[in-house]
Amino acid sequence: MTQSSSRTYRLGEIVTQLGGELIGDPGAEIRRIATLESAGPGDLSFLSHSRYRPNLQHTRASAVILAREERDATTLPRILCDDPYVYYARAAQLLHAEDRPVPGVHPRAVVEADAEVAASATVGPGCYIGPRARLGERVIIDAGCTIGAEAQIAEDSRLHPSVTVYPRCLVGKRAVIHSGVVIGADGFGMAPEAGRWIKIPQTGRAVIGDDVEIGANTTIDRGALDDTVIEDGVKLDNQIQIGHNVRVGAHTVMAGCVAVAGSTRIGRHCTIGGAARIIGHVTIADHVTIAAATVVLKPIPRAGVYAGVLPSAPGREWAKTVAHLRGLDGLVKRIRELEKKLSKSGKRKR
Amino acid sequence: MTQSSSRTYRLGEIVTQLGGELIGDPGAEIRRIATLESAGPGDLSFLSHSRYRPNLQHTRASAVILAREERDATTLPRILCDDPYVYYARAAQLLHAEDRPVPGVHPRAVVEADAEVAASATVGPGCYIGPRARLGERVIIDAGCTIGAEAQIAEDSRLHPSVTVYPRCLVGKRAVIHSGVVIGADGFGMAPEAGRWIKIPQTGRAVIGDDVEIGANTTIDRGALDDTVIEDGVKLDNQIQIGHNVRVGAHTVMAGCVAVAGSTRIGRHCTIGGAARIIGHVTIADHVTIAAATVVLKPIPRAGVYAGVLPSAPGREWAKTVAHLRGLDGLVKRIRELEKKLSKSGKRKR
Amino acid sequence: MTQSSSRTYRLGEIVTQLGGELIGDPGAEIRRIATLESAGPGDLSFLSHSRYRPNLQHTRASAVILAREERDATTLPRILCDDPYVYYARAAQLLHAEDRPVPGVHPRAVVEADAEVAASATVGPGCYIGPRARLGERVIIDAGCTIGAEAQIAEDSRLHPSVTVYPRCLVGKRAVIHSGVVIGADGFGMAPEAGRWIKIPQTGRAVIGDDVEIGANTTIDRGALDDTVIEDGVKLDNQIQIGHNVRVGAHTVMAGCVAVAGSTRIGRHCTIGGAARIIGHVTIADHVTIAAATVVLKPIPRAGVYAGVLPSAPGREWAKTVAHLRGLDGLVKRIRELEKKLSKSGKRKR
């Protein structure tokens, strides 16, 4: 029952709750948020970037969120504010508040006798809550989740269907964890002996801070001895892999399919582009931006933007680039040869 | 109960149902399909490419599917047809028809009172079917799946165990969705404000067309405002990530581990190689082929083959290539220097 | 209930069980293993690499595992052995033995009547064990797993929560399979016909050997006709994708997010770095090491180290490299031009 819109708001109510300057009828009814292109009557839209300004002319929205300097960009009812994108986010939270399921443990859930489930928490059908696990106030555990022994989920967190939290792991407050996420599986630790691999028990935990969102099918391994730590406010997209003993600094975001190998420390307020891969045992500074699909093989000690991807090209053109790249060694030799000849001919002439 | 072979067929029956020219005894019994190498008595094999022709000499198959021009390539009973690979696909569908589970809701499934489940549909143990969800005729939902509120699965679709469909999402007819797939989790939308990230509710849906197959652990996010759309006939392999508001055109195929960032539009009849990554907000034309592991950072407005991967090399050789690449700046300067000198010496001589 | 430490050991007991030379009080009590940095009283630590030797001075560990040649590196109680890392692995296995759940089928599990579950096996709540499936002695199936019809899990294997094993697949002895793993989903097989894709039924199996570990959300497809095979002792990290008909040789390890396309054969004792991607239909020799994030597009017939990744760089520097790379064609022409001129001027001079 997520995402269904709850009730209509009047424009005046929205401004009262979220601030901003209203130009137009405060009594106008708003049902939902929509893009300029797809909006119709009853919809509130927004202009987050001047490149979308042409869409403003044709929108059928009932009202628009604008930056203060766009005051005269339309004659529609409008809300002027400092940051229309942030305002849109907050208005969408208001208009599309999630329905909360009724608190209580579903009769088809299994909760071990010594687990603690807050009275205001919801546990869906098919869930298993292990011994001594603790679910805080207003926690929602959707259908089919498993919370291991002694694991804890703090207040106001929501786990969507089929999330697994391994024993002893911790999830902070207000977390949003999507389906298929696995928190606290064993890190990849093995000692080689005579051509075989001996498993190293992974005895640390995965510890997730407050206000963290984790996308579908992302995996965060438990630590080998010490903990794997995701700090407050971190946002992880889908299918991200976080190896054991990694620490991700507060308010860092990672787009989908990022892979972070074991024992790496990523700073605070970093932005990691989709499908970037970061090798193990390195430290990345605060405020680092890594471009999508970049491979990081060394520490990054200074804030800044880092990249490492070759853009694709039509097949034949690319084949030529690859051939040239392979021929670089020969090329360097030819240049050296030319330099030698020219230097000789120069000397001869002198 | 998938994949178990159902019954034997006589060669004549197969040709009657699937067409082709039979040379040999129509009464020969066929149990299953097998490769030329592993086939034995009772097996039907096929020659899909001339490079496998040597295997034809030694095969123990009871009969072989051949292209018409290979008529004399063997003396075994044989079916001649236009496209042996397609014929093999159809014959395998005939011989290895999936067992259908008995229709009905398993007593260990939970179906909300206002959900609609067709009488011919099957809901396995441990499933949860949310309020107002609808399952069409002959739909099979295997064990441990969750179908969110108001989601719909159209007729003849099968969800393998542990699939999650979020609220309000739609799956078309004849879909095959493998285990661990997550359809309609929140897209990755956040507005930055003072170093923190504010969640943007994702109120669009994920809408999957007819005849779509989705591989294990693939994730398809719901749209932010408008929908994420997978058109008819699309085939997605395992561990693919489709970001919010992406549109994948009809009959496009993607091999495993492809990542498509948000708001990108991929054309119809495209072939996306394994582990390719496509940046957000770009448009890819119809009939585009993208080589495996290629990173697409720009729109592709024309059909064709695109690539962008450097082939691996022995470690030392590769280190040299990297060094040369890093030295390109210096190399360019040395060439400019040479050109200047030569031009001077040329002028001097003139 | 995994990972909770079972009981304390005395140093003398540890040496009796695992070997090594003890210097110090054999009666000292050890509770757990810890790193040199985080260890306190009751902890056993280890020095696995000389670069950590400085940490030895300040550790508060009760005892340390050292290489024989480090005998005098500390005055703490110590165990001298040939390979401290292997010793640590074994000591951790001793000290952090997993609690075993009580054998038996949970009343909230569904086991088909003709499935065989050993009396010493455990089946958790929410599991579904299909017809004719077989679970060996001491097998543990945690909550929410699905074992398909006729699939077999051999003795002493453990499946963590929410694992799916498709029909007819086999898992060997002593396997450790983490949450979200999907074994035996359909391989990606389709025949193109007139712009559409016809599904090829995947009738082979996925066959997993003994002593295999499989990380969270990894997917191993069943074979198209013959089987996909993971040989004994293979260790796979999280989010790995193994295509149909792949064979992975014994004792090979793969770090997280590796993708192996269909019909590829990987040798024994290989080490595949994280996020490496290997194209289909190639053969990789035994004892091959592939660096992280490398793309393998061709067979590798000889043991050795292979790489193929460009290291990232600050954004502006990288943009220059890309521009140079794109300009290589022009560069080659300029060099050819220079060579021609020099050769002419050389001839003229002669």
What contacts C306, CB < 8 A, 6 or more positions away?
Answer: B312, B313, B314, B315, B318, C288, C289, C290, C291, C294, C296, C300
Query: Residue B330: what residue type?
Result: G
Sign of CA dihedral A331, A337, A343, A348: negative
d(CA A320, CA A336): 23
Q: Strands B152-153, B170-171: parallel, antiparallel or unpaired by DSSP?
A: parallel
- In the sheet with C21-23, reading across from the earlier edge strand, the strands are C21-23, C78-81, C63-67, C43-46, C32-33
Question: What are the C-alpha distances in Å from B273 to residues B240, B299, C195, C278?
Answer: 11, 17, 17, 12
The answer to whether residue C241 neighbours chain A at the CB level (below 8 Å) is no
C6 within 8 A of C99, measured Cβ to Cβ:
yes
Name the β-bridge partners of A123: A105, A141
A165 within 8 A of A184, measured Cβ to Cβ:
yes
Name the A residues in 53-72 with CB < 8 Å from any B CB. none
> Is 60 exceeded by the pLDDT of residue C133?
yes
The answer to whether residue C238 neighbours chain B at the CB level (below 8 Å) is no
Query: Residue B168: what residue type?
Result: R
What pLDDT score does A15 carry? 98
Gyration radius of chain A over CA positions: 27
Closest chain A CA to residue C211 = A197
A22 within 8 A of A11, measured Cβ to Cβ:
yes
> E strand or H helix at B319, and its extent?
helix B315-326
- What are the two backbone dihedrals, phi and then psi, of residue C139, each rounded to the nearest 5 degrees? -65, 140
> Is 80 exceeded by the pLDDT of residue A2?
no
Q: Which residues of C touch A186 (CB under 8 A)?
A: 176, 178, 213, 215
Examine the residue annotation and report whether A287 is marked as an active-site residue of this protein. Answer: no
d(CA A66, CA C58): 59
Name the β-bridge partners of A79: A22, A65
- What are the two backbone dihedrals, phi and then psi, of residue A18, each rounded to the nearest 5 degrees? -110, -5
CB neighbour class for B97 (10 Å; exposed up to 12, middle 13-18, buried from 19):
middle
> Is 50 exceeded by the pLDDT of residue C2?
no
Query: Residue A201: what residue type?
Result: P
d(CA C127, CA C277): 33
DSSP code of residue A49: S
Among residues C201, C292, C295, C209, the alpha carbon closest in space to that of C254 is found at: C292
Report ipTM (2 d.p.): 0.95
Longest dimension (CA), chain C: 98
What is chain A's percent helix, strand, coil content, to nearest 5? 20, 30, 55
Model pLDDT for residues C266-315, shown as the tens digit of each residue: 999 999 999 999 999 999 999 999 999 999 999 999 999 999 998 899 99
What is chain B's percent helix, strand, coil content, to nearest 5? 20, 30, 55
Model pLDDT for residues B205-238, shown as the tens digit of each residue: 999 999 999 999 999 999 999 999 999 999 999 9
Model pLDDT for residues B73-97, shown as the tens digit of each residue: 999 999 999 999 999 999 999 998 8
Query: How far B4 CA lies from chain C's nearest CA (Å)?
Result: 8
Q: Angle between the B315-326 and B328-349 helix axes, to the nearest 10 degrees?
A: 60
Query: Residue C233: what residue type?
Result: G
Query: Residue B153: what residue type?
Result: I
* DSSP result, A14-31: HHHHH--EEES-TT-EE-
The answer to whether residue B299 neighbours chain A at the CB level (below 8 Å) is no
Question: Which chains form contacts with chain B, at 3 or more CB pairs under 8 Å?
Answer: A, C
Whole-prediction pTM: 0.96
Q: Among A49, A96, A178, A244, which one carries the catalytic annotation?
A: A244
Give the distance, in angstroms, between the CA of residue B292 and the centroid of all CA atoms in the same chain. 13
Name the β-bridge partners of B110: B128
C72 within 8 A of C53, measured Cβ to Cβ:
no
CB contact under 8 A, B191 and A339: no
d(CA A262, CA C127): 32
Ordered alpha helix ranges (H), chain C? 11-18, 53-58, 84-95, 315-326, 328-349
d(CA B32, CA B39): 9
Among residues A162, A38, A286, the alpha carbon closest in space to that of C161 is found at: A162
Q: Angle between the A315-326 and C328-349 helix axes, to the nearest 10 degrees?
A: 50
What contacts C277, CB < 8 A, 6 or more positions away?
Answer: B257, B274, B275, B292, B293, C258, C259, C260, C261, C294, C295, C296
The string over B127-153, giving b where at least 16 C-beta atoms fall within 10 Å of a residue's C-beta and e elsewhere, is: bbbbebbbbbebbbbbbbbbbbbbbbb
Tokens encoding A66: 């604008």
Query: How far B156 CA lies from chain C's nearest CA (Å)?
Result: 15
Average pLDDT over residues C132-136: 98
d(CA C14, CA A92): 60
B208 within 8 A of B247, measured Cβ to Cβ:
no
Q: How many CB atoms lie within 10 A of CB B196?
A: 15
The string over B309-323, giving b where at least 16 C-beta atoms fall within 10 Å of a residue's C-beta and e elsewhere, is: bbbbbebeebeebbe
Q: Angle between the C328-349 and B328-349 helix axes, to the nearest 10 degrees?
A: 30
What contacts C333, CB < 8 A, 6 or more positions away?
Answer: none
What pLDDT score does A50 carry? 87
Closest chain A CA to residue C145 = A144
Enzyme catalytic residues of C? 244
Please state which of the ranges A130-139, A162-171, B46-55, B339-348 shows the lowest mean pLDDT: B339-348
C-alpha distance across the termini of chain C, in Å: 87
A124 within 8 A of A106, measured Cβ to Cβ:
yes
Among residues B33, B62, B60, the alpha carbon closest in space to that of B48 is found at: B33
Tell me which of C157, C252, C257, C334 to substitute to probe the interface with A (most A C-beta atoms closer than 10 Å). C257
Helix (H, G, I), strand (E, B) or coil at A8: coil
What pLDDT score does C3 carry? 37
DSSP code of residue A335: H
The answer to whether residue A32 neighbours chain B at the CB level (below 8 Å) is yes
> Is 90 exceeded by the pLDDT of residue C232?
yes
Among residues C163, C170, C164, the alpha carbon closest in space to that of C227 is found at: C170
What contacts A7, CB < 8 A, 6 or more positions away?
Answer: none
Digitized pLDDT (tens) for each residue of chain B, 350 residues in all: 333 446 899 999 999 999 999 999 999 999 999 999 999 999 999 999 888 999 999 999 999 999 999 999 999 999 999 999 999 999 999 998 877 899 999 999 999 999 999 999 999 999 999 999 999 999 999 999 999 999 999 999 999 999 999 999 999 999 999 999 999 999 999 999 999 999 999 999 999 999 999 999 999 999 999 999 999 999 999 999 999 999 999 999 999 999 999 999 999 999 999 999 999 999 999 999 999 999 999 999 999 999 999 889 999 999 998 888 888 888 888 888 888 888 877 666 55
Model pLDDT for residues A45-101, shown as the tens digit of each residue: 999 988 899 999 999 999 999 999 999 999 999 999 999 999 999 999 999 887 789
d(CA B199, CA C97): 41
d(CA C63, CA C65): 7
Q: Among B244, B281, B287, B324, which one carries the catalytic annotation?
A: B244
Question: Which chains form contacts with chain C, at 3 or more CB pairs under 8 Å?
Answer: A, B
- What are the two backbone dihedrals, phi and then psi, of residue B10, each rounded to the nearest 5 degrees? -90, 150
Which of C126, C217, C332 is opposite residue A180, by nearest beta carbon?
Answer: C217
Place of tokens 């089946």: C123
Model pLDDT for residues C246-259, shown as the tens digit of each residue: 999 999 999 999 99
CB contact under 8 A, C167 and B215: no
